[in-house]
Amino acid sequence: MTSAHVDVEGERVGEIGKGIMLLLGVEQGDDEAKAKRLCERVLNYRIFTDEQGKMNLNLTQVEGQLLVVSQFTLVADTDKGNRPSFSRAGDPQMSKTLYEYFIGLVREKGVECQTGQFGADMQVGLVNDGPVTFQLRIA
């Protein structure tokens, strides 16, 4: 991704250049151990191209930035009917706590990390390179 930003009520609250925009959905049963594992995977996932055009480099190797946006709709159950169910989503307080914990872990690793605003109505912009999009699930 070459750039991304998040606005809330017309104000830019987060913006990055080259890096990863992470839409983070928290499910019931998620915990700090899963947040730690996700942090390691996101920072070390080799999705940036090297000199030969192969996906061999991770976020830290390209000195990229991370934009983390809370996104409870990612955990929607869409298997039946015409309306998504959000019964698997973590409760708001637990989700906010894990969201903030995850961001703290990323910053402890020295990666520049911008964020959206948890629970807000956000307008998100993204210039996706490729486009390249992955879904990481931590079991």
- Tokens, residue 88: 């698997």
Question: In angstroms, how far is CA 60 from the centroid of its own chain?
Answer: 16
Q: Catalytic annotation on 115?
A: no
The catalytically annotated residue of 28, 61, 73, 133 is 73
Q: Catalytic annotation on 73?
A: yes
Sign of CA dihedral 54, 64, 89, 10: negative
Task: Kindly state the greatest CA–CA separation across the chain.
Answer: 47
Q: Catalytic annotation on 86?
A: no
Q: How far apart are CA 91 and CA 72, in angstroms?
A: 10
The catalytically annotated residue of 72, 102, 115, 118 is 72
Residues involved in catalysis: 71-73
